[in-house]
Amino acid sequence: MATFGDIGLAAGVNILSALVFLIAFAILRLQPFNDRVYFPKWYLKGLRSNPAQSGVFVSKFVNLDWRAYIRFLNWVPDALKMPEPELIDHAGLDSAVYLRIYLLGDIACMGYPSLSTGQTIPWQYLKQLIKCSTVTLISFLFQIFHMDHKVNLLPTTIDLPTTLGLSKDHIVMALPFVLTLLKEYETVAEMRLHCFRKTSS
């Protein structure tokens, strides 16, 4: 059975990975050499020009505006409030897919550790309760029947199988996550096909 330390470590790794992924996306988005990658819709509509064509040599590759790095996450709340079709039309399909991946990561970071904790606590309490009840019952029988000389012949605890429970827990927790990923891949594939049909027509 996974301990609280295991659950906390897994949750910490997931949350840290999601934050690193978000920060890396946001910082790379600010760099001039990635401008066409992150804003293709605006280039196609003529609403944006390449910032790497002007300025000093270093500024063609690295964004030197320190204020942009302070506000680098300001776009997230507005993007989350925007309907998905409008977001695709405004920033492109990749931005909408990125937000879906990020929201799925939030579900994995918050939901599955909560489910694991909810499963671990009752199991651990049940195990301790059975052990305490068994020891108390056997001690009571010893006192009634004066069986002190036979203490070594009777079991004192019930050893609940832990390895079987641990493997079953991993399978049970992995199944909904895999099904969620499968559903998300199907949704993204349908979004991409819809976008291709729209651009080809």
The residue assigned the tokens 């606590």 is: 121
Give the total residue count for the chain: 201
Q: What is the pLDDT of residue 46?
A: 76
CA distances from residue 141 to 8, 146, 151, 156, 157 in whole angstroms, order as listed: 42, 8, 10, 12, 14
Least confident of 14-28, 48-62, 63-77, 177-191: 48-62
The three-point CA angle 151-155-157 to 5° equals 125
Separation CA 92–CA 198 (nearest Å): 13
Q: Give tens-digit pLDDT for 22-55.
A: 788 778 888 887 777 777 777 777 777 776 666 6
Separation CA 165–CA 12 (nearest Å): 23
Q: What is the pLDDT of residue 141?
A: 53
Structure token digits, residue 65 = 């505006």
Separation CA 172–CA 112 (nearest Å): 11
User: In this predicted model, which residue has the larger pLDDT, 31 or 117?
Assistant: 31
Quickly list DSSP for 146-181: T-GGGGGGS--S----SHHHHHHHHHHHHHHHHHHH
Separation CA 140–CA 102 (nearest Å): 57
Task: Write 103-112 long-range contacts (CB < 8 A, 24+).
Answer: 104/180, 104/181, 104/184, 105/14, 105/17, 105/18, 105/21, 106/18, 107/180, 108/14, 108/177, 108/180, 109/11, 109/14, 109/15, 109/18, 112/173, 112/176, 112/177
User: Could you tell me the residue ranges of all domains in the chain?
Assistant: 4-200
Separation CA 111–CA 11 (nearest Å): 10
31, containing H or E segment: none
Structure token digits, residue 38 = 């992150």
pTM higher than 0.95, yes or no? no
Share of the chain above pLDDT 90, in %: 0
Q: Are 52 and 146 spatial neighbours (Cβ–Cβ below 8 Å)? A: no
